[in-house]
Amino acid sequence: MCGISAEGVRRSFGSVHAVSDATFRAEPGRVTGLVGPNGAGKTTLLLMLASLLAPDAGSIRIGDVDPVADPAAARRMLGWMPDALGAWPSLTARESIVTTARLHDMSPADAAARADELLHVVGLAELAASPARVLSRGQKQKLGLARALVHEPQVLLLDEPASGLDPEARVHLRVMLRDLAAQGKTVLISSHVLSELEEVVDDVVFMVAGAMVDAAGAPSARAYRVRVAGADARAGVAEALGLPAESVGADRGDALVSFTDDTAAVEGLRRMITAGLPVLEFAPAQSALEESFLALRQPDGQHPTPPQTPDAPQEGAGA
C-alpha cells in the first residue's frame, strides 16, 4: 500500500514563500485532513504532491516513488482532484471521464465501462450527456472526483472536494471516502468545511503561513453553548456557576461558557442542573477540529481567540 511522505518541502514564487517547511505523513487506510487558512500554501503543496509543480527543496515520496524524478510512475498511483474542474468544458460528463481513462492507457471498451460505473457512483448518470460547461459547481465537483478515481489510484489528493455539494451529496462523499480508506487507499483532503471534515478524517495536518504547525500546545479550554427554557440563559448560567453575569458570553439567546476539560464541563453541567436551571441543550460551541484550528500557535506565538466566545470565562474562575 502507498502512503505519502514529505520532508522539508519548500516552494517560492519570487519573493512569496508559498510553502516554507512542509513535513508530514499520510498513511494508507486513513483519511488525512490538510487544514489551514486561505493563503497557507495548501494548494501549492497538493500540486507538488501531484507532481504538477516541482519543490525548490525537500523531498516527497508517493509510496517509494519520487514524483519529481519519476512523475509518470507517481501519477499511476495518484488520483488528483483540483478545486476547479479545469479543461474540456465542451465534452460531456461521460466523454470527460472516458478521455481521462484513455489518458491512463485504458482500452476504449474499459474506459467506456469505467465511465458508466463512475457516473453512477458519483450521482451523475442522468447528466452523462450534458456538457461540463452547463454543470453546476457541485456537479462539476462530482465529475472531478470521478476523473480522479478513474484509474483506481492508491492515493487520492482532493482539494476542497465538498465545495458546492448539497447536503445529501456531502453525506454520500463522506461515506465514499471512508469506504476508500477501508480499501487501504491513502486519502488526503484539503478543506475549509472543518465541521464536516471532522466527521471523515482520521488524522489532521495543520498548515499556517506555508509551514506545518503543531497544535499540541494549544490551549485546551473549550467553549460550550448552553440553551435554557424560559429563562435568561446568560444570567442563569452565571448564577449557577458563581460567575459575574458580564463574564459569560451570549449568542442568539444562548449562554457561552468555557471549561478547561471534559471533567470540568461535566461538573459545570451538574452544577447547573442542581441549581434548577432548565437546560435544553449543552454542547460544544464548535467542533474539536475548529477549536484546534482557532487555537493554533501562530508564527508570532499568539493564540487567536474564537470570535464566537467573547469574554467567555474559564469555568470556576469566579467560583
Confidence of residue 307 (pLDDT cuts 50, 70, 90): very low
The verdict on 301 and 227 lying in the same domain is yes
Looking at residue 96, what is its pLDDT? 95
- Segment 62-98, tens digit of pLDDT: 999 999 999 999 999 999 999 887 768 889 999 999 9
The verdict on 19 and 80 lying in the same domain is yes
The verdict on 198 and 258 lying in the same domain is no
What total of structural domains would you count in the chain? 2
**In this model, does residue 300 exceed pLDDT 50?**
no
The verdict on 199 and 252 lying in the same domain is no
Task: Report d(CA 60, CA 46) in Å as an integer.
Answer: 11
Report CA 180 to chain centroid distance, whole Å.
16
The verdict on 195 and 311 lying in the same domain is no
**In this model, does residue 298 exceed pLDDT 50?**
no
Q: Considering 192, 213, 234, which residue would you say is the last residue of a domain?
A: 213
The verdict on 69 and 120 lying in the same domain is yes
User: What CATH number corresponds to the domain at position 155?
Assistant: 3.40.50.300
The verdict on 219 and 236 lying in the same domain is yes
- Segment 240-273, tens digit of pLDDT: 998 887 778 888 888 888 887 888 999 999 999 9
The verdict on 220 and 124 lying in the same domain is no
**In this model, does residue 314 exceed pLDDT 50?**
no
Confidence of residue 288 (pLDDT cuts 50, 70, 90): low
- Segment 26-67, tens digit of pLDDT: 999 999 999 888 888 999 999 999 999 999 999 999 999 999
Task: Report d(CA 6, CA 25) in Å as an integer.
Answer: 6
- Please give the average per-residue pLDDT across 202-207, as a whole number: 87
Is 46 in contact with 157 (CB distance < 8 Å)?
Answer: yes
- Segment 98-122, tens digit of pLDDT: 999 999 999 999 999 999 999 999 9
Looking at residue 40, what is its pLDDT? 85
Looking at residue 94, what is its pLDDT? 95
Q: Identify which of 136, 159, 131, 125 has the alpha carbon closest to the alpha carbon of residue 44.
A: 159
The verdict on 170 and 270 lying in the same domain is no
Global model pTM greater than 0.85 = no
Q: Considering 178, 213, 248, which residue would you say is the last residue of a domain?
A: 213
The verdict on 55 and 189 lying in the same domain is yes
With 0-12 CB in 10 A as exposed, 13-18 as middle and 19+ as buried, what is 240?
A: buried
Q: Considering 153, 179, 213, which residue would you say is the last residue of a domain?
A: 213
Confidence of residue 152 (pLDDT cuts 50, 70, 90): very high
The neighbouring-strand residues paired with 254 are 251
Looking at residue 305, what is its pLDDT? 37
The verdict on 196 and 297 lying in the same domain is no
The verdict on 169 and 63 lying in the same domain is yes
Range of the domain at 219: 215-319
Q: Identify which of 135, 142, 103, 153 has the alpha carbon closest to the alpha carbon of residue 119.
A: 142
